[in-house]
Amino acid sequence: MRAAAPRWKAAFMHPAAKPLVFALCLLPFAQLLYGAVFDTLGANPAEALLRATGDWTLRFLCVALAVTPARVLLGLPALARFRRMLGLFVYFYAVTHLLCYALFDQGMDLAEIWRDTLERPFILVGMLAFVLLTALAATSPQRMLRLLGGRRWQWLHRSIYAVAGLALLHFFWMRAGKNDFAEVAVYAAVIALLLGWRLQRWLRKRRAA
């Protein structure tokens, strides 16, 4: 195991590591695009695209939140190289999810989208999560860190925890209509574990200070 650790660290630092992770992150989108073009998404392809892009947004959110715990617990600081990319893929799949909703559910009618947002709570919390994600994506470049200053940038990017809560609530309310909470429970457990680890670490640092 000790001999394997340096090899893992070297693999994560390899120049090809980032392009490989980028390609892997695009695979779900490529599969959905293939399914849409060749009509393999089932009887209701619009519904399949809407649900799948939402699922992949949540999955990438969990992966992005897992980077820091994995980096600390596994002793792999090189994992930090992928955090920004993974965060941007959360936004990418959130954008595709929103576009699927706007196109297939609302026919790109902005007035209808606005009315639906105000009338349906699960749409409202989804939109709030998207607004926060947009702010995070817009401020992800290094120049924005310099422009905002480290403390304000860090404070803003902690809103990813609010995004996680809103996204989970959006998913819960969406599934509540079908009384199907199995997947919701899985995502809730994963997000609670990841955020609980961060809280425990923060409390430990506070006690040590």
Q: Report the 10 Å Cβ neighbour count for 49.
A: 22
Separation between Cα atoms, residue 63 and residue 160, nearest integer Å: 13
**What length does the chain have?**
209
pTM of the predicted structure, to 2 decimals: 0.92
C-alpha dist (Å) from residue 71 to 11, 68, 79, 86, 111: 14, 5, 6, 14, 45
pLDDT (tens digit per residue) in 6-28: 666 777 777 888 999 999 999 99
pLDDT (tens digit per residue) in 141-164: 888 888 888 888 888 888 999 999
pLDDT (tens digit per residue) in 63-84: 999 999 999 988 888 898 999 9
Helices (H), 74-181: 83-100, 110-119, 121-138, 142-148, 150-157, 160-176
pLDDT (tens digit per residue) in 104-114: 999 999 999 99
Q: Which of 120, 105, 17 is nearest to 53 (CA)?
A: 105
